[in-house]
Amino acid sequence: MKRLGLPLFIVASVLAGCLASLSPATAQSVAVLNGVAMAGKQRMLSQRVLKAYAQLSLNVVPDKATVILASSLDELKSSNASLRAVAKDSNLAALQTQSTLIDKLAAVTAMPPSDSTMQQASQLSEALLGNAETVTQGFIKSGAEAPAAMVNLAAMQRMLSQRAASAYLVYQTGAKSPEVKARALKATADFKSAISAFDEAKTEFPQVADRIEMARIQMVFFEHALSNIDHPTTGQFTTIATTSERILGEMDSMTSEMVKQLGARNTPTIALAKKK
Residue 174, helix vs strand vs coil? coil
**Spatial distance between the Cα atoms of 21 and 227, rounded to a whole number of angstroms:** 39
Residue 137: Cβ within 10 Å count: 18
List, for residues 132-175, the tens digit of each pLDDT value. 999 988 888 876 456 777 788 778 889 999 999 999 999 999 77
**Spatial distance between the Cα atoms of 160 and 40, rounded to a whole number of angstroms:** 11
List, for residues 218-256, the tens digit of each pLDDT value. 999 999 999 999 999 889 999 999 999 999 999 999 888
Q: Which residues contact 45 (CB under 8 A, 6 or more apart)?
A: 72, 75, 76, 79, 132, 162
Domain residue limits, the chain: 28-266
The amino acid at residue 207 is Q
Residue 120: Cβ within 10 Å count: 17
Provide the pLDDT confidence category of residue 5 given band limits of 50, 70 and 90. very low
